[in-house]
Structure 1
Amino acid sequence: MGKLTGKITVVTGAGQGIGRGIAEKLAAEGATVVVTDINETTAKETADRIGGGAIGVRTDVTSRESVAAMVGQVHRQFGRIDVLVNNAGWDKAGPFVESDPDDWDRVVRINLYGVLNTCRAVLPIMAEQGSGSVVNIASDAGRVGSSGEAVYSAAKGGVIAFTKSIAREMARSQVNANAVCPGPADTALFASIGGDNPKLREALTKAIPFRRLAQPSDLANVVAFLASDEADYVTGQTVSVSGGLTMS
């Protein structure tokens, strides 16, 4: 039996990249995974791939109505929600002084409001159950800043502070909340913000003590622990998974 056997688990942005890696790991540990993504095709493909009763549901985390519909469907179908992993994210890299305010809105809506929307829908269910675990995928950009990602860093810093606050509020209901902060990861999002530039990739790799970018599985292993009963007494924590690029 896996450490997550029987747990009904919602993972946002799980159609590709880190989210897909998390969904695969949680399913391998026995969870029934609800794969949500704004791209319904990739959500359903991931669900079919991981099996274990997984379902794919199109969800736009920036829309409270879309989130409410997904959470309502999951609660009706399974009767409970044990784990929420907020992974959906987006960024557009570039100097802040040259940035487009429309992009600020999109970055904040997806990375910060997306977390607020899902937590607002799921936390009352967990409180009523008297159990549950929230794992928010933040970023080391939110802890130490990142050149070319100022608004993204601000949004992810907000996720970290929000996670600590809900950890305090929800503790009386035996619900824990923690944040996982990836460093540079070998994903499509990283490639889209310049990671496909060989010089940037090489420079970053040299800066990481372990001399490699994170793989989705590196993040997924930490998420699986925090989502499990083994981490019942861990709440309000921020864990960097960066190969030593940042240390605190």
Structure 2
Amino acid sequence: MTGDAPGRAVIITGGTSGVGLATARRLAVDGDTRIALIGRNTERGKDACSAVRAVAPDCDVHFVAGDANDPAQAVEAATSARDLLGGVDVLINSTTAFYTPTLLRDVPVSDIGAVLTGQALAPMHMCRIVLPWLAAAGAGAIVNVASDAAKVPTPGEVVIGAAMAAIVTFTRTLAVEAKRDGIRVNAVTPSLIEGTLTGERAMAGGFSKKLFEKAKQQAHLGPTEVDDLAELIAFLTGPGSAKITGQVVSVNGGISVA
């Protein structure tokens, strides 16, 4: 725990909606009283802060504008968040690229690079920036949100799967490097998450809708929701997982067991 204020200082990249926002609410209820939400949309950021205060009125929550895919903006946003919170104890990266599952033959060659960098760069940038701060404190927890596409070869997810696999390998390798400084690094890999913008795009129609409708039939434990991810992330950043690092945990209702 950094600083003199109670509760941990938490930075959540992509914290203004979806899994990031659900995690912010969950951690605030648990007593993490200093939270910074990094995102690109200021209006959504203000709404997200209000949503966190609605469940935890004493939480000191801030929105910091920035695109973590851009190196300079990532440094500026992370530094501003650290200064607002008085330090950093936890980093959660929950950003998503604009992508709908599409067979590779139908993906324009010019789009491949944007999908890869749009998904994989933000968590890498943020981990690199925050890592020295956590190392100086001798403790910390990082969770990167990826996708089961990193582990299960799925038609239509060739490019996004490659980006997610990059995040997973990055996470596991960083865990090996960071453990000597008391830092734990883990990843969570959902499949389709209901109630999110990404999920709505995936179910909008065409090949993607057919793919995920078939997948949902295998989710015998129920479709994944944002609060399911928030519960796991809260555990992976909390004291109950003090000896867990380098792990990649699926949350998919039983769609796969990879």
Alpha carbons 2:120, 2:164 under 8 Å: kept: yes
2:183 maps to 175
Confirm whether residue 132 of structure 1 aligns to residue 140 of structure 2: yes
1:86 maps to 93
Alpha carbons 2:202, 2:212 under 8 Å: kept: no
2:73 maps to 66
Secondary structure of 1:144's match?
Answer: coil
Secondary structure of 1:54's match?
Answer: strand
Residues 107, 202 of structure 1: alpha-carbon distance in 2 compared, 3 angstrom cutoff = closer
CA distance in 2, matches of 1:205, 1:243: 9
CA distance in 2, matches of 1:23, 1:124: 23
Alpha carbons 1:17, 1:216 under 8 Å: kept: yes
Structure 2 residues without counterparts, runs of 5 or longer? 1-5, 54-58
One of 165, 187, 194 as aligned partner of 2:203: 194
Secondary structure of 1:207's match?
Answer: coil
Cα deviation for residue 102 of structure 1 reads 3.4
2:241 maps to 231
CA distance in 1, matches of 2:13, 2:108: 26
Secondary structure of 1:244's match?
Answer: coil
Q: How many residues matched?
A: 243
Cα deviation for residue 106 of structure 1 reads 2.1
CA distance in 1, matches of 2:25, 2:205: 25
User: What stretches of structure 1 move > 6 A for 4+ residues in a row?
Assistant: none
Residue identity in the other structure for 2:42: E
Confirm whether residue 50 of structure 1 aligns to residue 58 of structure 2: no
2:123 maps to 115
CA distance in 1, matches of 2:20, 2:114: 19
CA distance in 2, matches of 1:207, 1:195: 20
2:16 maps to 15
Cα deviation for residue 42 of structure 1 reads 0.8
One of 209, 212, 223 as aligned partner of 1:213: 223
CA distance in 2, matches of 1:93, 1:150: 8
Residue identity in the other structure for 1:26: L
Secondary structure of 2:151's match?
Answer: helix
1:157 maps to 165
CA distance in 1, matches of 2:113, 2:85: 34
Cα deviation for residue 199 of structure 1 reads 5.8
Cα deviation for residue 50 of structure 1 reads 0.5
Residue identity in the other structure for 1:244: G
Alpha carbons 1:168, 1:236 under 8 Å: kept: yes
Residue identity in the other structure for 1:43: G
CA distance in 2, matches of 1:191, 1:70: 28
Cα deviation for residue 29 of structure 1 reads 1.3
Deviations 1:36-78 (A, max 9, x none): 1111211221012202111111120111111111111122222
CA distance in 2, matches of 1:122, 1:97: 38
Alpha carbons 1:137, 1:179 under 8 Å: kept: yes
Identity of aligned residues (%): 28
1:37 maps to 39
Cα deviation for residue 200 of structure 1 reads 5.5
Alpha carbons 2:218, 2:254 under 8 Å: kept: no
Comparing 118-127 with 9-18, greater Cα deviation is found at 9-18
Residue identity in the other structure for 1:20: L
Instruction: Calculate the aligned-residue CA RMSD, in Å.
Output: 1.7
Confirm whether residue 246 of structure 1 aligns to residue 256 of structure 2: yes
The two structures have a TM-score, normalised by structure 2, of: 0.89
The two structures have a TM-score, normalised by structure 1, of: 0.92
Confirm whether residue 75 of structure 1 aligns to residue 76 of structure 2: no
